[in-house]
């Protein structure tokens, strides 16, 4: 990885601006699980998955909601740009993050060619974010259609993603097409209609999908929980993201290796006190990309 003298010379001559360059942004999809009180002193709060959006102050898409993002800074690494952006725009510093996907379709941004490197960020409820709003996420799938042929299949479905904030309800409709042939897999996402800026609903959908998939084989869930939690809280968290009910007894056994019991219990809850647990990070819950 060392350069020879002649190579060094060449570098001096190298002109950086010979070809046109695209703009590059980092865009971050921020998630949390919010406790929704039930109003019943016995009942536990329900978990609701939320995404944090900010209202754009300038065109394009002025006054529309968007995910947190910025043009990247040449002086900083991508992840440093991400962290600075999140610090400056929403004033948050403690979160789990991972890279999602890089979007670069020609027409993404009406201004010019923009490539977006997207990240997923997970927050617990202690973090207070500024300059934006948390939106409840409701996902509904429709119109599943499978056409098989001898080279593979074509699968399509409709996605309805409703984002509900304090005052606004943002409806978004996507159409997914997965084309599998002899030699290729092609996943296309078409935005049928969207009430948020750019193709950001697409990015949010990708993040949701990744979150769901990673639940099953990693310990990513702990990014959304406080340090101490009950097993029922953990179960509600899984259920909210997966969109299905789980059996309690089995859930406890399956997740036993993911958690460590503490010698602390909840109280004043109108029912038997429950033991608190913390995450048990170990290598088996591998999180390797």
Partner DNA sequence: ACAAAAGTGTTCCAAGTACACCCATGT
Partner DNA sequence: ACATGGGTGTACTTGGAACACTTTTGT
Residues 129-188 interacting with DNA (rule: CB under 7 A):
none
Q: List the one residue out of 37, 52, 138, 56 whose CA is nearest residue 95.
A: 52
- Residues 136, 156, 232, 285: which binds DNA (CB under 7 A)? 232
- Residues 77, 91, 271, 282: which binds DNA (CB under 7 A)? 271
Q: List the one residue out of 217, 10, 203 whose CA is nearest residue 101.
A: 203
Assess contact for 170 and 65: CB atoms under 8 A.
Answer: yes
44 binds, among a second copy, DNA, none (CB under 5 to 8 A by kind): DNA
Query: H or E segment at 241?
Result: helix 231-242
Q: For residues 43-72, which are near DNA according to CB under 7 A?
A: 43-44
C-alpha torsion 221→222→224→229, nearest 10 = 120
253 binds, among a second copy, DNA, none (CB under 5 to 8 A by kind): DNA
- Locate 20 and state its tokens: 């046109």
Part in contact with DNA (CB under 7 A); list of ranges 2-10, 129-137, 155-163, 267-275: 267-275
Percent helix, percent strand, percent coil in the chain, to nearest 5: 25, 40, 35
Q: For residues 14-43, which are near DNA according to CB under 7 A?
A: 40-43
Q: Work out how close the CB of 117 gets to a second copy at its nearest, in angstroms, rounded to a whole number.
A: 5
147 binds, among DNA, a second copy, none (CB under 5 to 8 A by kind): none
Q: Contacts with DNA: how many residues (CB under 7 A)?
A: 26
Assess contact for 47 and 237: CB atoms under 8 A.
Answer: yes
Q: Work out how close the CB of 47 gets to DNA at its nearest, in angstroms, rounded to a whole number.
A: 12
- Report the alpha-carbon distance of residue 239 to residue 207 in Å, rounded: 17
In terms of CB distance, is 14 or 41 closer to DNA? Answer: 41
Q: List Cβ neighbours of 85 (8 Å cut-off, separation of 6 or more).
A: 26, 28, 68, 69, 70
Q: Work out how close the CB of 38 gets to DNA at its nearest, in angstroms, rounded to a whole number.
A: 7
Q: Work out how close the CB of 10 gets to DNA at its nearest, in angstroms, rounded to a whole number.
A: 51
In terms of CB distance, is 36 or 262 closer to a second copy? Answer: 262
- Residues 275, 281, 282, 287: which binds DNA (CB under 7 A)? 275
CA 204 to chain centre: 6
In terms of CB distance, is 133 or 209 closer to a second copy? Answer: 209
- Locate 167 and state its tokens: 């005052």
Which spans of this chain sit near DNA (rule: CB under 7 A)?
40-44, 230-232, 247-250, 252-254, 265-275
């Amino acid at each position: 990885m060392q350069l020879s003298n002649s190579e060094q010379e060449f570098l001096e001559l190298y002109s950086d601006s010979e070809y046109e360059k695209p703009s590059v942004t980092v865009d971050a999809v921020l998630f949390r699980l919010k406790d929704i009180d039930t109003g019943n002193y016995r009942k536990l709060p329900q978990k609701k998955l939320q995404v944090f959006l900010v209202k754009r102050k300038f065109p394009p898409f002025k006054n529309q909601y968007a995910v947190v993002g910025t043009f990247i800074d040449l002086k900083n690494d991508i992840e440093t740009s991400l962290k600075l952006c999140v610090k400056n725009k929403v004033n948050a510093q403690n979160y789990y993050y991972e890279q999602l996907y890089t979007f670069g379709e020609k027409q993404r941004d009406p201004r010019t060619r923009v490539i977006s490197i997207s990240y997923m960020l997970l927050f617990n409820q202690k973090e207070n974010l500024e300059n934006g709003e948390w939106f409840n996420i409701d996902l509904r799938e429709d119109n599943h259609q499978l056409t098989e042929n001898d080279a593979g299949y074509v699968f399509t479905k409709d996605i309805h993603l409703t984002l509900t904030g304090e005052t606004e309800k943002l409806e978004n409709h996507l159409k997914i097409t997965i084309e599998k042939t002899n030699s290729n897999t092609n996943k296309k996402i078409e935005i049928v209609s969207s009430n948020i800026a750019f193709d950001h609903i697409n990015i949010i959908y990708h993040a949701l999908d990744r979150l769901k998939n990673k639940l099953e084989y990693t310990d990513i869930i702990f990014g959304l929980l406080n340090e101490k939690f009950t097993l029922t809280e953990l179960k509600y968290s899984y259920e909210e993201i997966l969109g299905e009910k789980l059996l309690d007894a089995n859930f406890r056994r399956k997740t036993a290796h993911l958690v460590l019991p503490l010698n602390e219990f909840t109280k004043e809850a109108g029912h038997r006190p429950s033991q608190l647990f913390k995450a048990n990070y170990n290598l088996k819950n591998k999180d390797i990309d």
